Chain A
């Protein structure tokens, strides 16, 4: 069997998915008997006190089983923010006030309408600027608030030196001598940038089906991430369930992109099932996916950079604020997550980084592909392009000058062991040739080109385990609990396993996502699966192979080190046979072989593997630590766009994106991630954003007015270039690392530069909608006319 690593093996879930036979959580919606269905009563206001609420009529409706409110005796503080049912104050439009379980979904819907609720509408904050302005409205009544955990004390806004009640955490990092850096700079530029709020919008809405077991336990089937590390842990911890009585199954997931890392539907459904002791189904409507599921956190950044005439960036003063929605207490936000996007690519010898987070009365933020890096790096990459222009340098050359080389330390002090970013940049430039002017056709569509680069850290996130069975017929079963959001992780894990045993991929059956039989994994996040679970799979395979070697060696009276396993065969050294089929060595059970402690038919040889990256070391007051991230994934993007100067519409006509994936396990799956990543980023940097009405409720919470990209926004096939430029990761499985997040990061700044090259306007905000581009074009014309 040839080496399977770097081979584009067909996806193992392909058949199930093209035939419609693969089951998703939503396919279990009404598959169990005696099911109850949940519908939520949600706040129409961004901020209000519940003055009076009357459930009498709703309760009286035949078929209503139970009404769950914020007064339930549970530890709401431990719930993910999206799942917290309001008590007497609602903090965003869409927050649940009551969940109704009924015999049918229709009855539950009717009952929701019968709830009589009187609100006292309170002032609200819907964005960063509102949240930090002098004497802002407080997002939450201060008496409810608790202090952010684990982070430094409340910071003041750097510009105004003022502390806002809405600021929830902060992170500072200072390195070198910033003042001196600016003194030595030949050129200094600064500006302020921000981005819109977006929803990941997987096509399958959040869904949880909870079976109430006769022993008082629960079986949860959901499209949430992390069967062990997220869903089971939350159910046991928050609801006080014994671990032995909670089983979580993850069928195929209809996408996540980070948005399903918070167990909001799962916890509410499990709680309901425990209350009514029945099977319960709960599925979000599309509107709820927007208003009751998480958004990203938008960021406002202030970027000031100083550079030498040769393009060396020597000073970087960086300020960032995460706008995190109604995440009011015990949140993990502090600016720290996004700050990781501030310096993964460049040296920045003198840097000050002040970052923090601010709450608003909008839907709580949570993970979204890239973990704040598209938002954090947006202004930085634009600034690098502007410096290049001012210095009359190519945007490629200025980057090559400043990008970190392998073996160097980043500004935190960590050694960068794998960085293929320069190769990535050169790769995309070879396709788009950003230094050459595009051909203009004389129409209203003006062409321009641009490029940008990005890095995204991998957070050390707990533990991955894997279990392998070598069956007596030589087939192999791999048991893992990483998520399969669609990215192809299970295929990659299967390939790693098959490769370790030297068999075809079809000889490995991957069993995933069932806490009853698949071993622990935290969850798939931060592009960690290939690295984390991949390492666990390799360790498990080695364990299994070692045991198998021992067993085979015993049959032939050999030292195990003289046995080599190649699929169904064992290669033997120093005995009377050189090669032997392994399956016949498994003895059939008879009266006369009972007591055989060796290989026995239908009893697999079992291997087990655990992999945990070293944890983060808490950073000091200077923000530095010798151990923070596992590694960085990198990508570069170059685009050619056409901007309609009459309408402001921006079309990406050609795009090249390159990923430093380490050694890719399955290149075609990686390429399809690259293509999907740029498409997603074209969407959120040119079209998608939450809009709010006068009540502070999202006014475009649907797929008609919230504009997700279609096929029309993707360049035609001959104009899409997905490149892989690996720098092998020493501690990755076969040198592989993750890649899916960094792809999205440089797309926006590359488009921004291309728009500038096309029509001469700069944009500091994305999405760069047609309206915003046209407004900028008009402003420029008015300025020119005024001259």
Chain B
């Protein structure tokens, strides 16, 4: 098989602009992990079923193992590395710690980003709407109860003072 020509891709990842020359056969997940060394985004099933590769593309949650890199060209991407601010953790990050919503942690970055997408779009999302939004994110450890507790705490404004607005 002949080697494919690389293409030019511009990405803004966590606010930082990148110009890359990569194979268009790569997925966004591979570029994030291999080219940008952003290993907080995980690979689980590699066929879009488990959700651990979730990142935000222009604010929308997508499964990066299934997005070919050319489709991300010109997009604004947020990964878990982009959530921590100077003042401290993002409220969802702090809530996941405070509520014991983390066990092995492999699904955690994606779970937090998916929750962020849900609350960014609808800050008053109901429990049912949040559950619906998390349907594509597998967690094998926690049974989701504590994950929901954490997200509901953030929705209900428990972190407004300590971490600022979501």
Contacts and interface: CB of A to CB of B under 8 A. Distances in A.
A19 B93 contact: yes
Nearest to A256: B104
A166 interface: no
B47 A254 contact: no
Interface string A24-58: 10110010000000000000000000000000000
B64 interface: no
A274 to B, nearest CB: 27
A720 B145 contact: yes
Contacts of A253: 104
B39 interface: yes
B121 interface: no
Interface string A219-250: 00000000000000000000000000000000
Interface in B24-80: 34, 38-47, 49-50, 52, 79-80
Contacts of A716: 127, 131, 148
Contact of B143 (A13, A201, A676): A676
Most A CB within 10 A of own CB, among B50, B96, B102, B148: B102
Contact of B138 (A8, A16, A22, A203): A203
Interface string A192-213: 0000000011111100000000
Contact of A672 (B89, B97, B103, B134): B103
Nearest to A202: B140
Contacts of A486: 103-106, 141
Contact of B41 (A14, A20, A669, A679): A20
Interface in B79-125: 79-81, 83-84, 89, 93-94, 96-98, 100-109, 112
B52 to A, nearest CB: 6
B106 A676 contact: no
A169 to B, nearest CB: 31
Centre residue among B34, B39, B79, B100 by max chain A CB count within 10 A: B100
Given A252-B105, A703-B49, A710 B135 contact: yes
A717 B104 contact: no
A712 B131 contact: yes
Contacts of A30: 34
B10 interface: no
Interface residues of A, number: 60
Contacts of A720: 143, 145
A276 B46 CA distance: 29
Nearest to B109: A20
B97 to A, nearest CB: 4
A14 B102 contact: yes
Contact of B142 (A8, A201, A675): A675
Contact of A203 (B44, B79, B83): B44
A488 B42 contact: no
A254 B104 contact: yes
A568 interface: no
Interface centre among A8, A20, A717 (most CB of B within 10 A): A20
A255 interface: yes
A194 B7 CA distance: 55
Contact of A714 (B40, B84, B107, B143): B143
Contact of B112 (A18, A26, A255, A675): A18
A716 to B, nearest CB: 6
Nearest to A484: B104
Contact of B144 (A22, A702, A711): A711
Contact of A26 (B42, B47, B49, B136): B42
A22 B89 CA distance: 15
B53 to A, nearest CB: 11
A18 B108 contact: yes
A203 B100 contact: no
A710 B138 contact: yes
Contacts of A348: none
Nearest to B103: A486
Interface string A2-27: 00000010110111111111111011
Dominant secondary structure of chain B at its interface with chain A: loop
Nearest to A27: B39
Contacts of B49: 702-704
Contact of B96 (A8, A18, A23, A26): A18
A717 B149 contact: yes
A486 B146 CA distance: 14
A190 interface: no
Nearest to A13: B105
B129 to A, nearest CB: 12
B31 to A, nearest CB: 13
Contact of A19 (B46, B81, B106, B137): B81
Nearest to B152: A717
B46 A286 contact: yes
A703 B45 contact: yes
A180 to B, nearest CB: 45
B42 A254 contact: yes
Contacts of B40: 19-21
Nearest to A8: B100
A487 interface: yes
Given A10-B97, A204-B44, A712-B131, A675 B145 contact: yes
Nearest to B133: A711
Contacts of A669: 100
Contacts of A523: none
B84 to A, nearest CB: 5
A301 to B, nearest CB: 27
Contact of B131 (A254, A488, A711): A711
A262 to B, nearest CB: 18
A703 B89 contact: no
Contacts of A110: 1
B127 A676 contact: no
B39 to A, nearest CB: 4
B141 A26 contact: no
A606 to B, nearest CB: 31
Given A285-B46, A702-B45, A201 B140 contact: yes
B153 to A, nearest CB: 11
A173 B95 CA distance: 51
Contacts of B152: 717
A286 B47 contact: yes
Nearest to A30: B34
A548 interface: no
A432 interface: no
A412 interface: no
Interface in A692-728: 702-704, 708, 710-712, 714, 716-717, 720, 722
Contacts of B145: 672, 675, 714, 717, 720, 722
B44 A205 contact: yes
Contacts of B52: 203
B135 to A, nearest CB: 6
Contacts of B112: 18
A257 interface: yes
A15 B47 CA distance: 28
Contacts of B108: 17-18
B146 to A, nearest CB: 5
B14 to A, nearest CB: 11
B148 to A, nearest CB: 5
Given A14-B97, A20-B41, A668-B100, A703 B143 contact: no
30 contacts: A8-B100, A10-B97, A13-B102, A14-B102, A18-B89, A18-B97, A18-B109, A19-B93, A20-B39, A22-B105, A24-B106, A27-B39, A202-B106, A252-B105, A252-B106, A254-B106, A255-B140, A486-B106, A487-B141, A671-B146, A672-B100, A675-B146, A676-B139, A678-B143, A702-B47, A703-B49, A704-B49, A710-B137, A712-B131, A717-B152
Closest 7 A-B residue pairs measured CB to CB?
A20-B40, A486-B104, A17-B105, A254-B106, A679-B143, A675-B143, A703-B49
Given A204-B104, A252-B106, A717-B152, 8 more contacts: A18-B96, A19-B93, A200-B140, A252-B105, A255-B141, A674-B143, A680-B143, A708-B140
Interface of A: 8, 10-11, 13-24, 26-27, 30, 110, 200-205, 252-255, 257, 285-286, 485-488, 668-669, 671-680, 702-704, 708, 710-712, 714, 716-717, 720, 722
